[in-house]
Structure 1
Amino acid sequence: MKSIRLLALAATLVLGYAVAAAAAPVCNKKIESFDFVVDYSGSMMMHNKDLKMVKMEAAKTALKRVNAAIPALDYYGGLHTISPNGAIIEQSPWNRAAMDSGINQLKSDFTIFGRMTNMGDGLQVYSPAFNAMKKPGAIILVTDGDNNRGVDMVEIARQLYASQRGVTLHIISFADTPTGEATIKAIAALNPSTVVVRGEDLVNSDAAVERFVLAVFCQEESVIVLRGVNFAFDSYALDGKAMGILNEAAELIKANPNKRVVLTGWTDSLGTDAYNAKLSQNRANSVKSYLAKQGIPASRMTAIGKGKSYKYDNKTEEGRYMNRRTELSFD
């Protein structure tokens, strides 16, 4: 079954991926291996003004959130640092708990001044290790883009692509200078498959973590993601934004006249199981009724209430909002 996810970010219609209602998505593997490569330079020990914390501490938080959301599949994983270079976890079968422990070992109290950044040299040193990665592989570079000593980081990235097939550089960016931004943009421009995400977004947003993990770790499928059809607390009423998105969904369904549609409703974790089972069914029914008014035969649609969802963090308002959703899939 291919899923169409109704998530809470923006009222836009975009290509997406199938995601199960779990702490980490279930998907088809896009890569066989990955390596977190962390900028350990002095500038990463400085404060991020938006998060009001040291950039390296923010990087650790972002990496832990990404690690927690990686699908439970048989990837190989590693964790390395640059400037100075060091191996915290060599490439080996990925284990979520072991990677989390490795991320905790990253330090954020190194001296800031007098420690020049030679990211290009560091990437060059790791070239043989990257070449030995199981392919296809992903190098996830965590950096603010500063590279003020040694060989040019962009040139080394270019050489990496020229000498190795099946490896893609992705970037978790903490850039806070024009030079750093320019470096990251130049690296991203080398490969259309590169995913760049702001580190602050990974720290603050479950949805940003999900999008990044799906894009890097999961094989793209021929599905559509509809974002914005969510519900207020204890409600199954559709607002104007949701109706606009469902109008587009109706056109999509009409374009696939031979497929049945399954509508699955979810709630957050507040309330009793019995109450939430009924509420989630009402939410699925609400979407079904609206689509029927748009010309989709009710006989083509099945509405299912699944009750409580734990896909997103129910301890936060954002997480609870994103759990109060309906998923639409073709059967």
Structure 2
Amino acid sequence: MRQSKLLLLTLAAVLTLTFALATTASAQMIKKVDNFIFFLDQSGSMAQKHKTLDTKKIDMAIETMHAMNKAVPNLDYNASLFLFAPFENKLRPGTYNKTAMTNAISSVKTDFDIFGRLTPMGNGLIDLDPVIAGLRGTTALIMFTDGLSNLGADPVAQARALYAKYGNNLCIHVVSFADHAKGQMIIDDVRALSSCTVVADYTSLNSPGAMDAYARKVFYTDAPAAAPAPTRAPVPVTPMEKETITFSLHFGFDKYQITDEMIPVLEQAKMILDENPSASYVIGGHTDSTGPEAYNQGLSERRAGSVKDWMVTNGVSTSRLESKGYGELSPRYDNATSEGRKLNRRVEIQTK
């Protein structure tokens, strides 16, 4: 009898300690969003092997989703899992439960036929709109895709429409499995619609500690530490991490002038700059590898200068902007292809 009573008391103490530790861990984290949606591309191209990693992209996506689910803390999120191409509900919006999300991810079929399974990514975003509308608070939409949209509505236009409808209550993050320049371009264009997006791909998230860092940026933040005792020691200032604003501003061959088609993109970029009027920026111009390196250096400087002049003309203080040319030395795409060269003729903006 005494042994049974002692066992019960010991068990109660263990449960109390476990609950206290769990409560303390949760108390140290503050959720950044109220809801999150995993949105997985199950099109034919995702069932193909990645060109450089030699693994089916859908398998890579499932692996990434499982890892992300483990990294998300047990806070009171509303969570769900949907697929597109075709659109399908795997886990309805409800209180976040790791086991339920694990089971939903594991239930996704990865051995489907490739042929005849096109990618209506824009239509998928249209289908998801009523789901987002039914949620309360802020929502993180995490898309897992290779970006190869080839059917239906324009995905960039539909993502822009969602931002226009939900404003700061929505942030779209795209985890890239792209192995084609076209797919990566669509992903980059969706990311460029808002400064809230956190950029990641399969390779980057497999780096040590990267998934935990990603979860902290997207899902939660650490609670502020208790105020220290008064001291005369100076408080160290943590430098701001540089932020790159990537947007779809691609120049024609040997061109640096701003065209009418570029204005909507520049207006989007200016809105991002206006959100933080105290920040200063470097406008970087780039070229493809065609032509002499010295000429390309000058061309990249002219491209950056054109964008700076447009920003200043439209109300951004010139003291906040510095234009700089990088020539052909920082390609983001393959200069061996015409599509890659086109995408490398670009301008990017980065905080100082």
Normalised-by-shorter TM-score class: 0.5 to 0.7
Counterpart selection for 1:194 from 194, 197, 211? 197
Match of 2:112 in 1: 110
CA distance change for structure 1 residues 85 and 26 in 2, over 3 Å: closer, same or farther?
farther
Structure showing greater radius of gyration is 2
Map residues 143-222 of structure 1 onto 2, 5 A cutoff: 143-165=145-167, 166-202=169-205, 204-219=206-221
1:206: how far off? 3.9
Distance in 2, matches of 1:176 and 1:133, equals 34
Map residues 96-107 of structure 1 onto 2, 5 A cutoff: 96-107=98-109
Map residues 203-242 of structure 1 onto 2, 5 A cutoff: 204-219=206-221
Distance in 2, matches of 1:25 and 1:123, equals 34
The amino acid that maps onto 1:168 is C
Structure 1 residue ranges without an equivalent (≥5): 1-19, 224-252, 258-331
Match of 1:256 in 2: 235
**Cα deviations by residue, 1:263-296 (Å, 9 ceiling, x for unpaired):** xxxxxxxxxxxxxxxxxxxxxxxxxxxxxxxxxx
Map residues 17-96 of structure 1 onto 2, 5 A cutoff: 26-96=28-98
Structure with the larger strand share: 1
Does the 8 Å CA contact 1:172/1:197 hold for their aligned counterparts? yes
Distance in 2, matches of 1:87 and 1:23, equals 32
TM-score by length of 1: 0.59
The amino acid that maps onto 1:256 is V
**Cα deviations by residue, 1:76-129 (Å, 9 ceiling, x for unpaired):** 100000000000001100100110111111111111122111010111011111
1:210: how far off? 1.1
The amino acid that maps onto 2:83 is T
Distance in 1, matches of 2:157 and 2:35, equals 23
Does the 8 Å CA contact 2:26/2:75 hold for their aligned counterparts? no
CA distance change for structure 1 residues 201 and 255 in 2, over 3 Å: closer, same or farther?
same
The amino acid that maps onto 1:122 is G
Distance in 2, matches of 1:25 and 1:181, equals 38
Q: Partner of 1:210: helix, strand, or coil?
A: helix
Structure 2 residue ranges without an equivalent (≥5): 1-21, 226-231, 237-352
Distance in 1, matches of 2:126 and 2:178, equals 21
Q: Partner of 1:47: helix, strand, or coil?
A: coil
Instruction: List structure 1 segments (4+ residues) > 3 angstroms apart after TM superposition.
Output: 22-26, 219-223
Match of 1:138 in 2: 140
Distance in 1, matches of 2:96 and 2:31, equals 14
1:73: how far off? 0.7
Distance in 2, matches of 1:25 and 1:209, equals 21
Higher relative contact order (CA 8 A, sep 6+): 1
Percent sequence identity over aligned pairs = 35
CA distance change for structure 1 residues 61 and 254 in 2, over 3 Å: closer, same or farther?
farther
Does the 8 Å CA contact 2:27/2:223 hold for their aligned counterparts? no
